[in-house]
Amino acid sequence: MTYNFPLLSAANEGAVSTLTNTQAGRSLLSNVIPFTVNTQTNQTLTISIAEIISDYKDYADQAQSNYANLAEMGTYLGQKLNERAEAISLANHANWTDFGDTGASVLGLTSTDITVSATNIDDIVRGIIEQIQTANGFDLYIENGGFIEWRPSDWTFLVQYMQSMGYTFADEALRDGGKGRLGKETMGLYHYVSTSHPAGGHLMAGVRKAQKLGILSSTYGNVYRQDNPASSTAGSLSGTQIHTRLDYGLLVPTNMLPVVFDVNV
């Protein structure tokens, strides 16, 4: 399955022209509307990669063990596959725009690592919003919202910052440890936390819905069951095999690249 993402590149945008706005100028036959051509290009997202997870239970184990419940095992497999989808999304950082420390703790478009702390975590948030605006992405930011997905250690600094602010904001963070702000907008960004970040210190941030993860819905979420599956040598096994799968494709469209950031930490 293929999805199309047509776009106008900056090089192919139409130019705005000025018409002579005087009574004499408006009457000139030469003062015409110029013809311009806006050339569209197209990018595609193809769902061509499959991830799979399975489990096999012998009939005797199913009959005797409380841990061999197939329904619960199917739920577990689904959770593992969801975690895998999150890891796939976060591992795509090579296709995002670098954001880091440009020097003297000034944040901008560079790959130099930021040392995250409770005293600069608000600077990171403001810096991301600034770069979205600089990339002319503010309309998308208003429409979809901005976000960042922290590591647990960074989330601790964010909670520390929130708890120090005073008033109702700090009271809430002191009461629930910051969980009330998880997935909600704070300081202009939606904040998430994950343990699925790749090695090397890469956080994902920017405008929500900019990176496209295409999932084949006809297979996603289904648990497939096979009784007496074939063995790897000969004959069949005396039990049940279940599996679920994730068919996907991943794309950051060219016109979205400036508002999706690899926050180097």
Q: For 134-183, what is each residue's pLDDT tens digit?
A: 999 999 999 999 999 999 999 999 988 888 876 576 677 677 776 666 77
**3 within 8 A of 37, measured Cβ to Cβ:** no
Tokens of 155: 């989330």
Read off the pLDDT of each residue in 39-65 and give the average, rounded to a whole number: 90
Q: Which two tokens stand for residue 55?
A: 């489990």
pLDDT 10s digits, 215-247 = 999 999 999 999 999 988 888 999 999 999 999
Q: What φ, ψ does residue 200 adopt, rounded to 5°?
A: 105, -10
Whether 102 shows a pLDDT value over 80: the answer reads yes
pLDDT at 29: 65
CA dist 135 → 68, 83, 123, 203 (Å): 53, 31, 18, 19
Residue 25 reports pLDDT greater than 70: no
Query: What is the structure's pLDDT at 24?
Result: 64
Q: CA distances (Å), 175 to each of 81, 168, 172, 187, 253, in order?
A: 33, 10, 5, 19, 41
Cα–Cα distances (Å) from 159 to 119, 151, 156, 177, in that order, read 12, 12, 5, 7
Lowest mean pLDDT among 25-29, 65-69, 157-161, 224-228: 25-29
The answer to whether the beta carbons of residues 137 and 205 sit under 8 Å apart is no
Neighbours of 8 (CB within 10 A): 13
How large is the average pLDDT for residues 94-103?
Answer: 96
Distance CA 132, CA 179 (A): 26
Per-residue pLDDT band for 26 (boundaries 50, 70, 90) equals low
pLDDT for 107: 95
Sheet strands (E) in 17-86: 40-46, 49-58
pLDDT at 129: 97
Other Cβ atoms closer than 10 A to 191 = 23
- What percent of the chain is predicted at pLDDT more than 90? 63
Tens of pLDDT, residues 187-222: 899 999 999 999 989 999 999 999 999 999 999 999
User: How do beta strands 2-8 and 212-215 pair?
Assistant: unpaired
User: Would you state the pLDDT for residue 178?
Assistant: 67
**pLDDT for residue 11:** 66
